[in-house]
Structure 1
């Protein structure tokens, strides 16, 4: 809340709009609740699949809420005014979850099971595993809409979920640190692309070995 107040202090359009602060605080509570809803669904799926497969398909679940400054900057970049309605209607990634799995097939299994639930609506899919970015980045991104149940009503909120393997996540962390380091020679990014290719081949091999063991 204090961060938002400091940030709004630099934005004349909200200098006297204390009602916006209260509405924003309520909105962030709803986004946090949407994260809790999805994390619970994922944890239940992980527990069930652990019993069925005798191994845990989900390695970790992390979440985050965009900071007020990032929310405002993204709306302004899109030519939108900063309002509660625009935050809800224009942005899909205010609330985000990152799931890491051991194997590539676990990624697709988890997504298919999640979006098949009656109260989960799949809005968008970007499959960077089957179609990696030029940099070599691989991950499966989905936007889903889910209801959160409050004391007197329910509301629908969208949340971004990124699902990838442990190896993909390790690569993405390294790539992110290189891009923000500055003065990194182009050859480093070329080697990073090569590493992404090698990781993909290694994951295919590990998946084949696992299937041999399971047979």
Structure 2
């Protein structure tokens, strides 16, 4: 029996790796859509969104391969799927700490998502001061020949946490030696300052919300308006009368 031609082997491998990467890309697309729906829902119904912005990324095949070699794992698609859980990643940045847990609960309550792991680095920060909430979820992806499931890592953090983590990464990017102790202390101190700012802004946010809730008088024109995706609709006066609001 003749051995497969090298070109045929290459075509087969290209097909398999393209399909493998597409599964994670589609899982990422689904998560971005879910997050956008939540953001728009809150903005429309509550005139406020707990989500400031999102950022997603898909690991390159080279990065995946290097990580497999570093961890001394077998280089097969099944082994990659089992051992690397952050091929697809989404970072959600919020204004306030309470928003982080609100978003986490909303995502965990979605029936098609399977939550595999929750790591709370806010309650239990890393030694260097890093804070964030990490979720590992399994997302169903429906390909032409059936259902696949792919892991997506979700990091949820405040603006202050993201600011600290981004600069910490830039400062120590490709620095593989032990960080001097005095720099470690300063880094932790900066993280504590960021956390103190988060706590202060959380308190201010809560107090202002309490004032808003106490002042429940609404302008009639505001009650008549509905805004969906920046498009404004006005409720008919007759409908408001039927509901007892236009009398």
TM-score of the aligned structures, taking structure 2 as reference length: 0.76
User: Quick check: which has more Rg, 1 or 2?
Assistant: 2
State the distance in 2 between where 1:146 and 1:181 align. 32
Counterpart among 185, 201, 204 of residue 199 in structure 2: 204
Counterpart among 130, 139, 144 of residue 151 in structure 1: 144
Instruction: Give the deviation of 1:16 after TM superposition.
Output: 8.5
Q: How does 1:120-199 map to 2 (within 5 A)?
A: 120-180=113-173, 182=175, 186-199=181-194
Instruction: Give the deviation of 1:196 after TM superposition.
Output: 0.7
CA distance 1:207–1:52, change in 2 (3 Å): farther
Corresponding pairs, count:
202
Task: Report the equivalent of 2:214.
Answer: none
Whether 2:71 is the aligned partner of 1:86: answer no
Instruction: Give the deviation of 1:185 after TM superposition.
Output: 5.6
Task: Report the equivalent of 1:44.
Answer: 37
Q: How does 1:9-158 map to 2 (within 5 A)?
A: 17-18=9-10, 19-158=12-151
Task: Report the equivalent of 1:6.
Answer: none
TM-score of the aligned structures, taking structure 1 as reference length: 0.87
State the distance in 1 between where 2:45 and 2:203 align. 19
State the distance in 1 between where 2:7 and 2:164 align. 43
State the distance in 2 between where 1:70 and 1:202 align. 35
Unaligned 5+ residue runs, structure 1? 1-13
- Is the CA contact (8 Å cut-off) linking 2:112 and 2:139 kept in structure 1? yes
State the distance in 2 between where 1:181 and 1:90 align. 23
State the distance in 1 between where 2:7 and 2:145 align. 31
Deviations 1:48-88 (A, max 9, x none): 12233322211111111111122112212222221111122
CA distance 1:118–1:187, change in 2 (3 Å): same
Deviations 1:7-33 (A, max 9, x none): xxxxxxx99841222201111111110
- Is the CA contact (8 Å cut-off) linking 2:141 and 2:149 kept in structure 1? yes
